[in-house]
Structure 1
Amino acid sequence: MANTRVAILMESDFYEPEIFYYQRRFAEQGIPADFLTRLWGQRSITFKGHEYRAPFDVSLSLEHVDPADYSAVIVPSGMVSDRLRYTEDVDRLAPATDFLRRAFERPEVIKGIICHGMWLASSIPYVVRGRKVVCHNNLVGDVRNMGAEYVDRDVVVDGDLVTGRSGQHCHLFAKTLIELLTEKELLARTDPSSQKDLVAQKGGTP
């Protein structure tokens, strides 16, 4: 997976079983995973998990990277996206929301949003309007108001968008992402001149 790298957005109150699973699972597959956040001018921030207050250090700023440098961008479950969508100026997108917006402009980048992660897209509802998604049961009304089509499955794939029901389904969510990333890598190796993105051609649910 030499040409594959994923970005995982991070903030406080993360769901530890999910985040630590991603950390191990992508490494097992040989896929580097960068954890990104808004650093607020600091060199690094230590976040605390929601369940066990486990610490997690993040030193990469989402404001200084291009989502196009990644094969996939993941918005995790829990309160992470609610904290990331904070903006001092309500007439401007939060940096994390703008990062997600730019990721949606690149169909070759897989967007993975799980559970309450859809909160981060609430200010840019047009990116999921008309798309098939699943989310936490508490957000079904939200995604429908955003114009998305709710599908009652644990994981849903709609082109370059992969959504998961809850943090407890992170293993199925990650499995789907890895399968798509592997297919992309194989396509790049067998047909380097191809500019078509395999993921963008996919649809439906796994």
Structure 2
Amino acid sequence: MAKDPVRGILGEPVKGKIGVLIEDHFDQTEFRKFNTFFPERGYQVVYLSHLWGNPELTFGSNPDEGYVEEHVIVGTELNDVQPADFKGIILIGAYATDRLRYETNPRKGQPNMSPAVVFLRKAVATPNLKIGTICHSLWLFCADSSLLKGRKVTCAHNIICDVANAGGDVIFDGDQTADLVIDGNLISGKHPAVTDRFMETFLIEIEKAA
């Protein structure tokens, strides 16, 4: 029996809202953990995406077991909110952020103007706002190298070249990328196996900035 999709807004906004950028092919491990960890600690999780003129869209997770196990209904359009509305912003892992950086009409010499990248530029420029990335989600930063140049980060091994080519300084621990890296307002995690540490660290950083 198919599971009911999760609505785009979860929990009670006791301490504030955490915005999570999402699209199809999101990581389901991170998704499940976000939906439990943050609401249990008093934060509302709000899923954000570009809705292409629709009142809401349903997105599915990666088919890790050969089928899509998780769905989320998103009703919050990125163009309608500001990063300052949130205590923190997380870019979910897997291929969702590759889809989010898609531009319908790119122009030669013009920076990426997809709604998600425009939103990310505003987030990076928002004082004291913490931004979390995990696994493949630095792909959204790679859409505009000015957002990543010189930043110390970690990521999944298969996108090291993308991150380095966009100017990021990928931190290693021996012959592996580091599990977790904090560089100012940017908290990056290596892959879904470190999701628990990533969430705990992200929450600490949010509450330090409060």
User: Which band: TM-score by shorter chain?
Assistant: 0.7 to 0.9
For structure 1, list consecutive stretches of 5 or more residues without a partner in the other structure. Answer: 186-206
- The residue that corresponds to 1:32 in the other structure is 44
CA positional deviation for 1:2: 4.3
Does residue 23 (structure 1) correspond to residue 35 (structure 2)? The answer is: yes
Question: Is 1:11–1:84's contact at 8 Å kept on the other side of the alignment?
Answer: yes
Does residue 102 (structure 1) correspond to residue 127 (structure 2)? The answer is: no
Question: Is 1:104–1:127's contact at 8 Å kept on the other side of the alignment?
Answer: yes
Calculate the aligned-residue CA RMSD, in Å.
1.4
1:139-198 Cα deviation digits (max 9, x unpaired) = 11111111111112111000101111012221111111011122233xxxxxxxxxxxxx
The one-letter code of the counterpart of 1:35 is Y
> What does 1:37-52 align with in structure 2 at a 5 Å threshold?
37-50=49-62, 51=64, 52=67
> What does 1:1-206 align with in structure 2 at a 5 Å threshold?
2-50=14-62, 51=64, 52-53=67-68, 54-91=70-107, 92-152=112-172, 153-185=178-210
The 3-state SS of whatever aligns with 1:117 is coil
Hey, which of these two has a bigger chunk of helix by percent? 1
CA positional deviation for 1:7: 0.4
TM-score normalised over the length of structure 1: 0.85
TM-score normalised over the length of structure 2: 0.84
1:83-136 Cα deviation digits (max 9, x unpaired) = 111110112511101111110111311111111111111221111211110011
State the alpha-carbon separation in 1 of the partners of residues 46 and 38 from structure 2: 10
Give aligned pairs, total.
Answer: 185
Identity %: 31
Hey, which of these two has a bigger chunk of strand by percent? 2
